Chain A
Amino acid sequence: MITVKDLHKSFGDNEVLSGIDAQVEEREVVCVIGPSGSGKSTFLRCMNMLEEITSGEVIIDGESLTDPKTNINKLRAQVGMVFQHFNLFPHMTVMENVTLGPRKVSSKDKAEADQLAKALLDKVGLADKAQAYPGSLSGGQKQRVAIARALAMNPKVMLFDEPTSALDPELVGDVLGVMKDLAKEGMTMVVVTHEMGFAREMGDRVIFMDKGVIQEEGKPEQIFDNPQNERTQSFLSKLL
């Protein structure tokens, strides 16, 4: 589904990603862990060109992001993105947040978009908040709306950029619950996270990143219980 080949990304002189090769299969849940500054968020953001790719290649469902012939807007519509700080549109109701993409990008009519949004809000447990504005929601509710908004585009892949890092601890569970449901339905997901419990339980594969490269990857049991790389060992030992 996603192939990353020798991906490099620099901000000025500062090289953040120094040659990443990775593969994400259909219906796979890949969790990316690592210390802050390791480049894991940048790696994720390169997968829908929110960051310009310095060199290398990202191929999603057969289409290369860096190919000038690729319609980047069309491709992005198929890649859902959930942000650490939600980035809901504060001037729109929850309903309008979720229906904006289907109406303006997928050209659905209002009735169709509303119906879709209602179903998605129901799925994330927020059907009763359809007419509320984001400002009146808790962090956990906001993030669940953001997930519904991304799902409204009917994406082939969902990217999560530390989706629970900005949440109060007691609200993390609701968001992880929604993500687990998604994973069980077979959604292809790449999740940058500090939630090791989630990575262990739901990840088909865990990637450990540090210093702009993938240091180690494998099944969650292998990474968490028997890490081979010295950096992985030291990172995980600090967490426990």
Chain B
Amino acid sequence: MLENLQEIFSSPHYTNTLPFLWRGMQLTLLVTFVGVFIGFIIGSFIGLMRLSKNKVIYGIATVYIEAFRGTPILVQALFLYFGFSDFLGINFTAIQAGILVIALNAGAYIAEIVRGGVESIDKGQMEAGRSMGMTSTQTMRYIIWPQAFKRMIPPLGNQFIISLKDTSIFAVISLGEMTYLMRQYVSTTGDPFVPYIMLCLGYLIITIPSMVILRRVERRLDV
């Protein structure tokens, strides 16, 4: 036991893992940022479709949301990366597949955030806009959306953190993000303890400041 402890403190892995962590973190961040950004665009459309009175549009949006929220993201990644390429002959790179899975998956959750945000705006706002002769699109754009977006910021921040952690499952499609590189490191050195501590720290370095910023923004927005 004591011997083990000593080994842990003098382990060479603290510094040796750093280049891998750094390389992996760049990919983790790239996939998360691009994925969540595209996910926000998807989510905005799907979320507004969920508010439609047209049953077909509403139905499409509902099926999309339930399909992606009802299946594990790991399965979605396997399906897209292996299943799709086999069946349709589309060969995604691991990075493309990763970004796409994050975008589609986060898009489903963001759609519900968007719907909730828009629904939370008093219906008198829409009536005031329409009574001035604005179209429903104009009213949405100038009156409802700016107010709803403010309320969406905290849950969007949470979704960003969730998606960031979700990228770790892309190790299974050999996307060279943090978790994948650290697993490779462990399998070459045969020493798991310290490298995986470093991996946890690698995620915390991003998530903790994100949460602090998020809380500060929340307080400033008064939500």
Contacts and interface: CB of A to CB of B under 8 A. Distances in A.
A104 B142 CA distance: 9
Contacts of B130: 50, 73, 76
Given A100-B142, A104-B138, A104-B142, A87 B132 contact: no
B128 A87 contact: yes
Interface string A136-153: 000000000000011001
Contact of A81 (B125, B131, B135, B147): B131
B132 A76 contact: yes
Which of A50, A79, A87, A153 is the most central at the interface, judged by chain B CB atoms within 10 Å of its CB?
Answer: A87
A149 B143 contact: no
Tell me if B's interface is mostly helix, strand, loop or mixed: helix
Interface in A74-96: 74-81, 83, 85, 87-91
A132 interface: no
A73 B127 contact: no
A83 B127 contact: yes
Contacts, number: 59
A101 B150 contact: no
Nearest to A49: B130
A237 B26 CA distance: 78
Contacts of B127: 50, 81, 83, 87
A88 B142 CA distance: 13
Nearest to B125: A87
Interface string B108-138: 0000000000000010110110111111001
A105 interface: yes
Contacts of A149: 132
Nearest to A146: B128
B88 to A, nearest CB: 45
Contacts of A50: 127, 130-131
Nearest to A83: B124
Interface in A187-215: none
Interface residues of B, number: 17
B146 interface: yes
A141 to B, nearest CB: 17
Contacts of B142: 100, 104
Given A89-B143, A90-B147, A91-B150, A104 B134 contact: yes
Range of interface residues on A (Cβ < 8 Å): 20 to 34
A232 interface: no
Interface in A140-174: 149-150, 153
B134 A105 contact: yes
Nearest to B132: A101
Contacts of A48: 131
A80 B132 CA distance: 7
Contacts of A87: 122, 124-125, 127-128
Given A90-B147, A91-B146, A76 B133 contact: yes
A123 B111 CA distance: 44
B134 A73 contact: yes
Contacts of B124: 83, 85, 87
A91 B147 contact: yes
Nearest to A79: B131
B133 A100 contact: no
Which of B122, B124, B125, B128 is the most central at the interface, judged by chain A CB atoms within 10 Å of its CB?
Answer: B128
Nearest to A149: B132
A101 B146 contact: no
A4 B78 CA distance: 63
B207 to A, nearest CB: 30
A87 B125 CA distance: 6
Which of B134, B135, B147, B150 is the most central at the interface, judged by chain A CB atoms within 10 Å of its CB?
Answer: B134
A83 B128 contact: yes
A108 to B, nearest CB: 13
16 contacts: A50-B130, A73-B130, A73-B133, A76-B130, A76-B131, A76-B132, A87-B124, A87-B125, A87-B127, A87-B128, A89-B125, A91-B150, A100-B132, A100-B142, A104-B142, A153-B132
Given A89-B128, A90-B147, 9 more contacts: A77-B132, A80-B131, A81-B127, A83-B124, A91-B146, A91-B150, A104-B142, A105-B134, A150-B131
